[in-house]
Amino acid sequence: MNENEIYMKNLKVEEVPWHRLITAYGRAEKFPEYFDILWKMSSRKAVNTAFSIITSETEHQSTLWASTPYTIIFLVRIFEHAVLERKNNKIAEELAEKLIDFFILVAECFCDLDDDETEEPFPNFSDMLEEEYLCPEECDDDELFQLEEEGPFSQDLFYSIWYYSYKALFPCKPVLEMLEDASYAGKVNDLKALLEE
């Protein structure tokens, strides 16, 4: 297990400065609440709402955001939990399929990058949390709108966001093997193919 894999495995929700990570529509400050709703899988309506907000804010028109790779880390953990619970919880089964769909979308975003958009990613996953890449602690609505429109993306950060969003999906690969009997096994195979190194 390399350093980035160890980082993804051990990262805690509270260690991520969600309030300083840009999404398609603002900041990711409420994401920990949404992760909790998804993990509990106790209300279909609440799960659907939380899932819709998270996915629409971390992928928009094939664009990924600074919040996306960190979000994927925790969605993969939720996915594993949902797969383990799916036989006893219909919401878990539905959530597992929704997450497969979203993971496919994110993987396709990375795989569809043009060669001229690719560079070397940052050496470490955690490098994306360096001060220069975070949204300022204090910024008004106009400044936030500008960040949403332009993204705080230097070219190296841009590629690292795509690269690590993709790499953050890899821990779900063993879990995919548990879904051979799922009604959405075709989607599972599509995701497996996208995660071939």
Q: What is the pLDDT of residue 135?
A: 82
What is the C-alpha to C-alpha distance for residues 125 and 3, in angstroms, rounded to an integer?
9
151: left (phi over 0), alpha (psi -120 to 50) or beta: left
**What is the rounded average pLDDT of the residues 149-169?**
81
Angle at 34 between CA 32 and CA 40, to 5 degrees: 105
Binning pLDDT at 50, 70 and 90, where does residue 152 land?
Answer: very low
- Alpha-carbon distance 144 to 150, whole Å? 10
Three-state SS for 60? strand
- Count Cβ atoms below 10 Å from residue 76 Cβ, excluding itself: 20
CA distance 162 to 109: 7
> What is the arithmetic mean of pLDDT over 36-55?
98
Residues ≥6 apart with Cβ < 8 Å to 86: 92, 93, 96
> Structure tokens of 134?
């975070």
Long-range contacts of 48-57 (CB under 8 A, 24+ apart): 51/95, 51/98, 55/102, 55/105, 56/24, 56/25, 57/23, 57/24, 57/25, 57/26, 57/28
Q: Using one digit for the tens of pLDDT, what is the confidence trace for 182-192? A: 999 999 999 99
pTM: 0.92
CA 9 to chain centre: 14
Domain with 47 in it? 3-194
Residue 145: pLDDT band by 50, 70, 90 thresholds? low
Over residues 167-190, the mean pLDDT reads 95
Tens digits of per-residue pLDDT, 88-99?
Answer: 999 999 999 999
What's the number of domains the chain is made of? 1
How big is the chain by its Cα radius of gyration, in Å? 16
Mean pLDDT of the chain: 90
How large is the average pLDDT for residues 3-30? 95
